[in-house]
Structure 1
Amino acid sequence: TGGYDLIIDAPDVKAPEFNDFIKTIEQIQTELASVPGVSGSMSIPDLLRFLKGKPGREPQTLTERLMAGAINAPARNQLQLLTKFEPGLVSGFWNRDRNVMRISVMTGDLAGNQAKLDRLDAIESIGRKYSPTARTAGAEILIMFLVSSMLSDQWITFGVAVAAIVVMLTISFRSIGLALLALIPNASPILIVIGTMGWLGLKMNMATAMLASVSMGLAVDFSIHYLYRFRHELKSGRDFNAAIRQAHGTVGLAIILANLALIAGFMVLTLSDFVPTVQFGFLVTIVMLGGLTANLLILPLLLRTLRVIWPSSLGL
């Protein structure tokens, strides 16, 4: 659950239309109740009704007794009276200096960031129906747009990360073939995990949106170590098969231990009470396991394939 603030420009309290404006606020609140995902709202009219008390109930405080005595007075007079005795209570919903009134909109949870954005648009549309300058505010709106931005940018960041990795590996190995080869065992688990999330209907959030670029940056390290060792063995005079075996027997063990250490670190995130953090830790763990398997089992097979179709890229 969360909430937004719907800000409405108000006339001066002494203006003739102020009493009608209070009724307009009530009408806005009535329409807000029909928006999917809105569980309620509160503003100045609710505050006035609450302090007037329920029929048959004796006023308990001085403010309640004063408000009960002004029960038939115009809303303007009631609000001025309440402001005099409870200024802190009123200021949360009405800023007299700036002539704005706030409607606090309580919302329930909705699945998916787009559904929340649609709800926000509906709330603003109702407000602007009565006041062209109506606008929404609140920390939850900032979070929604942050998540939306991260979701739209995730493939851009992933693409930039991949491009940067290819450039650096090409310079390091002096081989575009090896650079592209290193991407396959590391990008495949990421694409499989994200594809599975979509197939299962799991929504991306602020944490899981970073999955692709973070996992790619971590997993590609193991390919670099493996390929570097493999190239070193080739240059030292070993044949292709011996170089593969030597790389497996040396760097392979180090890759396993380093990967398990990373997995243990990310698994700690699954102990969090914050669901996006739990999901991020779990998904990165799955991707790292997939990358480990691919680097130890698929990468050697890819090297054999590259040896056949593009032997010069191996430096042979």
Structure 2
Amino acid sequence: MKPIRISGGLAFAILIIISLLSGTTLGWLHLNNAPQTYFPQNAPAVQFENALREDFPTDEVLIALFEGDDLFSDDFLVPFRRLTQQLQALPLVDRVLTVTTVEQIRGTEDGFGVEPLLSEATMASLEPAERRARVLDDRFAPGLLTTEQGDALALILRPEPLDGSLQRLALETGLLEAVAEQELTDKLIALAGQVVLDVAQLRAMLHDTMIFVPGTLGIGLLLIWLMFRRLLAVVISALTISAVVHFSLALLIIAGKPYTLISAILPPLMSALTIAMLIHWFNALTLADRHGLSGAERIDWAYQRIARPTLFAALTTAAGLASLGFSPIQPIAAFGLVAAGGLLMQCAISLLLIPALLLQWDHAPWARGSASVRWLDRPVRALRNLGLRRAGWVVGLTLALMALGLPFISQIQVETDLLRFFKSQAPISQATDHIQERLTGVTTLEIVFDAPERDALKSPEHLRRIAELQSWLNNHPAVTRTLSLVDLIEEMHWGFHAEDPAYRMLPDNRALIAQYLLIYDGDDLYELVNRDFTRTRLTLNLSLHGARALNEFIGEMNAWLADREMGELQVTAAGFGRLFADQEQLTIDGQIRSLAVAIGLIALLMLLMWRSLADTALTMIPNLAPALLIFIIMGLFGIWLDMATAMIASVTVGIAVDDTVHLFHAYRRRRRSGRSVVWSLARAYRQAGRALTATTLILCAQFLLLTTSSFVPTIQFGLLTAIGLLAALLFDLLFLPALLVVLSRPARKRRAEVPIPT
């Protein structure tokens, strides 16, 4: 095989054009890590959620907690009231709930009335101690808007439907600016809720991008220089990485996919994979130089040895990444498909443009610069020799160790906990813990009741069934607060009867209930029931965070409902908590699908390359084993299978196969020329061993850079991928030659037993 001859100037121009044209699209990069981006829009729970929001406002909130000794004095409540009014005027805000705005039902001479808990007139007529007592005496405020002791007040901001993380960032920024303007910053202790959590993830994503992109590029270029001491190698690497990374991000933008914490891994991954590909190129040039070749002969010699394995390595890695496209979690699917597209562009540059650049400008020797990394030959040679000389022991011990580790795989827990994604000392973790200790759980869940006909939810029978479920929920240790239509009707009944505690109950008279609902003139009612009275929701605050715990809670509730007669009512769990709980099954489905597809596609490509079922099966072993090892480590150390770690197996298998392809291709070429197994292995490792060791070390260094992230799944992704690649290297350098020797023994024995003709 020889490269297509084009001029170096044209190749350089094409490379620059790819980089610049792709780079111009970066202005349209949509930063959005909102939870909604992770939910498949065709999922039944998502479709139910969308229909639910046509009747009711979102359950997404931002909670601000203020603490101090003078919270009920004019010095605090007056600016606090102004703060509430200022925030309510913001275009992204739907409603602000505080003790000055939340509705309270009170008895009147002719029935009941609805008014703010602490209206301006009420505040003027009460002393601070009386205001505090009024708030603490309210049925709903303690635990939601104030602590049980009244030494902290909460502001709950409910946004309009938001379009992405940047709007959530604008909302949080607007709140902080308004707090500062009202000179209440010293009282603001904590921010929490879904809005704040999304903003924290956005900041983590931007932080990671600012570190990982230059970091991986710098590490890669430095190691290229240290290995080959050629400025040309550094320049070609920089141009190729720029083109591949920009092209990959352009694919993400053209596909209309957002830039998330998952896709933030894309630039460092593509940079690392490109460096790995280039090392094989430059190593082949070094070997050609040692053979006394130069100019076009040197380039052609190197091309013949790397073209086919580079093509199939790119295809197999792309297959492993593209398999993530079968994940139902959209950012994972987008990441896999875009990365696969970037790998194909990388392959095209490697096989079509780099030979032309080298032909135009490569006139200096390569072998001289490789002396600085000759130390890599020693561990390669030592591992190879161990595999060749103790083949049976290596194979047997490896298989035994893997078998001992298999039981740990069953201990892997599938979990997605957005708060546990941050370290315990992170501000968002500490703020959330503080708010949950002082007020209420920040995880929301909605229980939706659907009735078959108009005004059905005015029926005492239906309302009693809702009340029974609410009573069970209130006694559940994970539930910190509930609110339903029943609560409002009970308050109306209480207020109508001169606030007599004996009447704080659900009336058993449909006509009376209908009358109460008719004369109610507040805003809270239709946030809990639609105007046809065919759908109502019971809102919950939970102290749970993980998808697994939420699923267990929903399962307990469904089991309780199964033993009860709910009549015509249909009961459905909904809201953010339900969507988040579904992540558990989505993660499992995505892992199974993507890994199965990755293995199938890579095996098919191997079969096309080797044209042998035996060789295909043989080369799949050292690439599947690292993925198996990663699962063993996850089970052993209690690392969750979550949105980030669910990608590791497919990514590792896809990357690890590159070195196996280069190594086995060199081995087969010698075997087909009639050389022995041992001689072919020795020469193949001498040709490709240094390159595959160097590429693995560089990839590991670049993946380990991800451990500097503040986002735990990114840390785990980087660490486990590096471990998987190191394991793949050991399997290639130690296990594979041992396995080849063991498998060749029967054939050698049969040849030895053939009688020599006389």
TM-score if structure 2 supplies the norm length? 0.34
Aligned to 1:213: 650
Q: What is the aligned-residue RMSD (CA, Å)?
A: 3.7
Shift of the 309–208 alpha-carbon distance from structure 1 to 2, 3 Å rule, reads farther
Amino acid at match of 1:285: A
CA distance in 1, matches of 2:468, 2:659: 62
The partner residue of 1:123 within 544, 549, 557 is 557
Alignment of 1:32-181 (within 5 A): 32-35=473-476, 37-46=478-487, 71=499, 76-82=514-520, 84-86=521-523, 89-97=524-532, 99-109=534-544, 113=548, 115-126=549-560, 129=564, 130-131=566-567, 132-152=569-589, 154-155=591-592, 157-181=594-618
Select which of 286, 300, 306 maps to 2:743: 306
Contact residue 151 and residue 206 of structure 1 kept, 8 A: no
The Cα of 1:7 is off from its aligned counterpart by 0.5
Greater alpha carbon shift after TM alignment, 210-219 vs 265-274: 265-274
User: Does residue 280 in structure 1 map to residue 721 in structure 2?
Assistant: no
Question: Which region of structure 1 is more displaced relative to structure 2, 277-286 or 218-227?
Answer: 277-286
- What SS class does the counterpart of residue 480 from structure 2 fall into? strand
- Structure 2: where are the runs of 5+ without partners? 1-441, 504-511, 749-758
Measure the CA separation in 1 of the matches of 2:533 and 2:722: 52
Which residue identity lines up with residue 469 of structure 2 in the other structure? I
Give per-residue Cα distances to partners, 1:89-136, cap 9 Å, x unaligned.
3332211235211111222337673x5323212223445633541111
- In 1, the alpha carbon distance for the partners of 2:726 and 2:493 equals 64
- Write the letter of the residue equivalent to 1:295: D
1:29 maps to a residue whose letter is: Q
Larger CA deviation: 158-167 vs 215-224: 158-167
Please show how residues 254-269 of structure 1 align to structure 2 within 5 Å. 254-269=691-706
Q: Which of 461, 467, 489 is the matching residue for 1:26?
A: 467
Q: Are the equivalent residues in 2 in contact too, given 1:268–1:281 (CA < 8 A)?
A: yes
The amino acid across from 2:528 in the alignment is: F
User: Quick one: structure 1 residues 302 and 13, their matched pair in 2 at CA, closer, same or farther if it must change by over 3 Å?
Assistant: closer
CA distance in 2 between counterparts of 1:269 and 1:52 reads: 59
**Alpha-carbon offset, residue 160 of structure 1:** 3.8
Residues 455 and 532, structure 2, Cα contact 8 Å, conserved in 1: no
In structure 2, relative to structure 1, the CA distance for the partners of 1:210 and 1:47 (3 Å cut) is farther
Answer yes or no: is 1:250 the counterpart of 2:687.
yes
Q: In 2 relative to 1, CA 94–112 (structure 1 residues): closer, same or farther, beyond 3 Å?
A: closer
**1:143-182 per-position Cα deviation (integer Å, ceiling 9, x unaligned):** 4334314325634543443233233222211222221121
- Partner residue in 2 for 1:5: 446
Q: How far did residue 28 of structure 1 move?
A: 1.9
Cα offset, 1:188, TM superposition: 1.7
The offset of 1:289, in angstroms, is: 1.5
Amino acid at match of 1:124: N
8 A Cα contact 1:7 1:100, kept in partner: yes
8 Å CA contact 1:22, 1:75 repeated in 2: no
Give, in whole Å, the separation in 2 of the partners of 1:97 and 1:273. 48
* TM-fit CA distance, 1:223: 0.6
Tell me the CA shift for residue 187 of structure 1. 1.7
Task: Write the letter of the residue equivalent to 1:245.
Answer: A
Q: Which letter does structure 1 place at the counterpart of 2:553? A: R
DSSP-derived class of the 2:447 partner: strand
Q: Is the 8 A contact 2:703 2:722 kept in 1?
A: yes
SS in 2 for 1:301: helix
3-state DSSP class of the match of 2:619? helix
Maintained 8 Å contact 2:623/2:653: yes
Q: What code does the residue aligned with 2:556 have?
A: A
Q: How far apart are the structure 2 equivalents of 1:52 and 1:203?
A: 49
- How many residue pairs get aligned? The number is 294
Distance 1:13 1:250, change over 3 A: same
3-state SS of paired residue (2:570): coil
What is the letter of the counterpart of residue 624 of structure 2? Answer: A
The code of the aligned residue for 2:717 comes to F
Provide Cα deviations, 1:240-267, integer angstroms capped at 9, x if missing partner.
Answer: 4443233323322222233234334433
Determine if contact 2:485/2:528 at 8 Å carries over to the other structure. yes
Call closer, same or farther: CA 1:112–1:192 in 2, change over 3 Å.
farther
C-alpha distance 296-51 of structure 1, shift in aligned 2 (>3 A):
farther
Native 8 Å contact 1:215 1:288 kept in 2: yes
Structure 2 residue 734 is matched with structure 1 residue 297: yes
1:13 CA displacement: 8.8
CA distance 1:85–1:34, change in 2 (3 Å): closer
Q: Residues 197-226 of structure 1: CA distance to partner in whole angstroms, max 9, x if unpaired?
A: 334444422332333333212211211111
Unaligned runs of 5+ in 1: 54-66, 312-316
SS at match of 1:279: helix
> 2:552 corresponds to which letter in structure 1?
D
TM-score when normalising by structure 1:
0.75
Distance 1:47 1:269 in 2: 51
Q: Indicate the percent of aligned positions where both proteins have the same amino acid.
A: 28
Partner amino acid, structure 1, of 2:733: L
C-alpha separation between the residues in 1 aligned to 2:582 and 2:698? 35
CA positional deviation for 1:141: 2.5
Counterpart of 2:721 in structure 1: which amino acid?
Answer: V
Cα deviation for residue 22 of structure 1 reads: 4.4
* Distance change >3 Å, CA 34–CA 69, structure 1 → 2: closer
Hey, what's the Cα distance between the residues in 2 that align with 1:220 and 1:230?
15
State how far apart, in whole Å, the 2-side matches of 1:223 and 1:134 are. 54
- State the one-letter code of the partner of 2:540: V
One-letter amino acid of the counterpart of residue 232, structure 1: R
Cα contact 1:70–1:78 (8 A) shared by 2: no
Max radius of gyration: which structure? Answer: 2
